[in-house]
Amino acid sequence: MEDKSKVQERESWGSSFGFIMAAAGSAVGLGNLWKFPYLAGKNGGAVFVVTYLLMVILIGFTMMLGEMIIGRKTQLDPYGAYKKLNKNWGFLGSIGIVTAFLILSYYSVVGGWVIKYIIATLMGGIGVDKAAYFNGFIGAPIEPLIYHGIFMILTVAIVFKGISGGIEKASKIMMPALFIMLIIVAIRSVTLKGASQGLAYYLKPDFSKFNGRVLVDALGQVFFSLSLGMGALITYGSYLKGDEDLEKNALIIPGLDTAVALLAGFAVLPAVFAFGFEPSQGPGLMFVTLPAVFEAMPFGAVFGVIFFILVFFAAITSAISLLEVSTAYCIDQLKWSRNKSVTIVSSIMFVIGIFASLSMGVLSDFNIPILNLGIFDALDFITSNVLMPIGGLLMAIFLGYVWGVDEAIKEVKKSPNVKFKLEKLWIVLIKYVAPVAIFIVLLSSLGFLDRWLGN
């Protein structure tokens, strides 16, 4: 009886649309906007895009459905969810919680950079030497910490208000706004003089450029872009009601995430080609190359502000899902109130983020032993290259062989009006294809495949 009343008292999404927007917001993050265009540029343009789309269908759908099944079935945080399904597997939920916790600790620092760039672009530019401006800012001891704090406070303010009143409401505003702004920037980009070269590169596949590196990069980007293996979709799935069509949602959410990535390619690559820049990786593309591109185009300041606001929306919708993972654990397992959970968890994250930020400047000479990386880079490596792939791999094994596909399928078909059309395909994918694919992602992210892939 206690379990039942707990399920009834648990918060839930107010609407299917609200859940989809929140889950898509969790998936859509900075990786869609800076990593996808870069990887497309590095891996032969259109041939990478085609490979990526195939991987979304095979791996993205499979894993996302799996996480939502576990969440809705148990109505618990990731640790409680796995433990409820198999008492020996609570550790797997713990991996997801730790991963989300550590990611937000440094992700919030980058979110702060985005706020700084919205203000800087509004105030009239970023100076002549974009790289020097960026490096000078992130290396400063105080200013980045102020923006890190602002970003964390905004994230906390949303999560304080709960599921339907905070996360859902914010996502229903920010995600449609993100799409509209991204379309505006993409239209501006593809209509620039000289953009046709970038468009051709992006849209015309040259399959002679297909190789193992293209496949592995596409696989990895799908896995990381959809926020798999960190408990976010298990947590969000735990607030779903029993009549929700999980299969449909598991197709729509990766579809929306992919639409953002593809639009980001349209927004970035034609403009970068038009002005003769190289699409650089990570922060270089976002904070150095693109400000120079916007400065070179007519009304560039307007498009620059729009772009950084949409980047902010992408960052904060991911951040609220990351904070909710740890918050749900504290509420479910430690029986804390939401306000107490959010306050304590976010405060610890903020402190870790201070050290991550300072590792770009005053602590730049300090490296984490064994990894030989600074604090920021070490947090990124541990979460992205180790914990997320391990969490995803073990989840596929858990669903395929421990808890079992029969139980998972029963959960999908729980509502009398829902049919599981892709049931047979999903069984093959979760038992055989996903574990192998994610194991390849793990090996690649740890550098074991570099020799074979030509790195």
Q: What is the dihedral of CA 443, 447, 448, 451, to 10 degrees?
A: 130
pLDDT (mean) for 283-297: 84
Whether the predicted pLDDT of 5 surpasses 90: no
Is 140 strand, coil or helix? coil
Whether the predicted pLDDT of 8 surpasses 50: no
Q: Are 107 and 147 in contact (CB under 8 A)?
A: no
Is 324 strand, coil or helix? helix
Which residues have CB under 8 Å from 148's CB, separation 6+?
108, 109, 111, 112, 350, 353, 354, 357
Whether the predicted pLDDT of 455 surpasses 70: no
- pLDDT at site 1: 36
Among 11-20, 244-253, 298-307, 392-401, where is mean pLDDT lowest?
Answer: 298-307
Helical pair 300-333 and 143-160, crossing angle rounded to 10 deg:
60
Count of CB atoms within 10 A of residue 11's CB? 17
pLDDT (mean) for 268-297: 82
The residue type of 202 is Y
**Average per-residue pLDDT for the chain:** 90
Which residues have CB under 8 Å from 200's CB, separation 6+?
none
Q: Which domains does the chain have, with CATH numbers?
A: 2-453 (1.10.4160)
The residue type of 283 is P
* Residue 245 backbone class (left: φ over 0; alpha: ψ -120 to 50; beta: rest): beta
Which residues have CB under 8 Å from 114's CB, separation 6+?
151, 308, 311, 312, 315
Tokens read off for 379: 């947090």
What is the 8-class DSSP label of residue 208? Answer: G
Whether the predicted pLDDT of 329 surpasses 70: yes
Among 26-35, 111-120, 130-139, where is mean pLDDT lowest?
Answer: 26-35
pLDDT (mean) for 50-54: 92
Whether the predicted pLDDT of 135 surpasses 80: yes
Beta bridge partners of 373: 368
Whether the predicted pLDDT of 17 surpasses 90: yes
Query: Global pTM?
Result: 0.93
